[in-house]
Structure 1
């Protein structure tokens, strides 16, 4: 069980551990009417990763909240869709960092309009000056601890869609809000899930589809030379809200753009 809060009525309590310590996680789900894009994967990730943090939550309860939220919010937005956000925290209280045993989680539910669609012919990106340190214990979890992404996003200007963050060894990991997929030689390359701050649901869905099609997908560290070198046949940014976004230029360097990958993912075909 959890305590349910609607953002359009009231916020979380002042002693909520998500506010105090980032003790929780969240999901942002693209909605069309009362159905969600890759909805089951979002719910499965939240339940799984909450379990990794020691927060117990029922998938069935989350699904019921999504139904209630869809009935509550869908009519407020245009036909082009909206965003459902679920923020789950460990709950309220505890002394300092140490939580009380048997705490009841808090779930905050909010809705917002769809962001502008990226240019289908490709976007501009750059390399971030902010390094991304990923703790292996929480790798891949979409936790509330996103301060590195906040600092990197401050580098974005009107002409930049995304900045790509690197780890302490200089390997490219992910964007502030996107995962990376590189076309190179006869296949696809993406950083391994163990290196990611956020392992996106679209990333996993797409890797499965590419492998089902018989295409080669390699999970390994990605370097700047991989992106800027002659073997690069395209760089793509993955986000379940924004879709598959080709990069046209990065740090002033032109990249080849192939729109074929975008045809694999039609959000309307993954609604649940």
Structure 2
């Protein structure tokens, strides 16, 4: 059974493999009071990707831990929006990189106030100089290994909201903390899941909404030319805490801004950039 640690009570032990090697994964969940709209999708991904990494924790365990954290958080925060973060590591033990096959997982529970919503008029985005390398064995997993995103995030200055990262082939893949959707004359386009460092819960939710509404949507590679072409009718970023965020300016070029993606997904415009 996994061992639970609370950040407010000291956090993980110094011998934890998540601290030593980034041997773990995490979920960041937006909560309104005691309600987390996409909680089940977050926990499904957490349990599934823990299995991919061979970390011993079950879906029932993460459900119990999250449920207890939601109740406690709601008691102290009332109806305000806040963020629940669950970090799951392989625990402690093993010699060097080689893990203990009988080790028990550790779970760190953190909570914080929700960040302010991005401006409804859209955000300013640029391209990162940091390349993104995606190991096929780790694609899509929200692992604790995020150094490329950390380096890219250092480029965020002033009102620059996000930078988009490219892979070794030059394809635009994702932002440091966001997935990407492009509205084109032919339909919606988003990079394929197998090319992503993080396949977001909000991305999956938006894909399902588009498909249910009968909107043409294609998981395909995106180039710089695709985002800057005349057929581009809008660029949107998705994030489990920030929601759907329209891009108003990309690398100095003004883009059309509207609420079309939020409307297609049935989200009210006041949470266009602030919901999960």
Normalised-by-shorter TM-score class:
over 0.9
For 1:42 and 1:70, how far apart are their aligned partners in 2? 14
Where in structure 2 are the equivalents of 1:128-139 lying within 5 Å? 128-139=128-139
Where in structure 2 are the equivalents of 1:239-254 lying within 5 Å? 239-254=239-254
Partner of 1:265: 267
TM-score, scaled to structure 2: 0.94
Where in structure 2 are the equivalents of 1:222-233 lying within 5 Å? 222-233=222-233
Partner of 2:7: 7
Aligned-CA RMSD value: 1.6
Partner of 1:214: 214
- Report the number of matched residues: 270
For 1:201 and 1:80, how far apart are their aligned partners in 2? 22
**Aligned residues of 2:128 and 2:152 also touching (Cα < 8 A):** yes
For 1:239 and 1:78, how far apart are their aligned partners in 2? 24
Q: Deviations over 1:103-144 (max 9, x none)?
A: 100000000000010011110000000000000010000000
Partner of 2:172: 172
SS class of match (2:160): coil
Moved over 4 A (4+): none
Partner of 2:70: 70
SS class of match (1:8): helix
For 1:8 and 1:65, how far apart are their aligned partners in 2? 15
Where in structure 2 are the equivalents of 1:143-162 lying within 5 Å? 143-162=143-162
Which ranges in structure 1 are unaligned for 5 or more consecutive residues? Answer: none
**Aligned residues of 1:37 and 1:240 also touching (Cα < 8 A):** no
Q: Deviations over 1:214-249 (max 9, x none)?
A: 111101110010111111100000001101000000
| CA pair 72-78 structure 1, distance change in 2 beyond 3 A | closer
* 1:33 shift after superposition: 1.1
* 1:71 shift after superposition: 2.0
| CA pair 186-80 structure 1, distance change in 2 beyond 3 A | farther
For 2:259 and 2:168, how far apart are their aligned partners in 1? 32
Partner of 2:109: 109
For 2:186 and 2:136, how far apart are their aligned partners in 1? 31
Which ranges in structure 2 are unaligned for 5 or more consecutive residues? Answer: none
* 1:86 shift after superposition: 0.2
For 1:170 and 1:16, how far apart are their aligned partners in 2? 36
For 2:249 and 2:198, how far apart are their aligned partners in 1? 24
SS class of match (1:47): helix
Q: Deviations over 1:14-34 (max 9, x none)?
A: 110000000000000001111
Q: Deviations over 1:137-156 (max 9, x none)?
A: 10000000000000000000
For 1:238 and 1:265, how far apart are their aligned partners in 2? 13
* 1:177 shift after superposition: 0.4
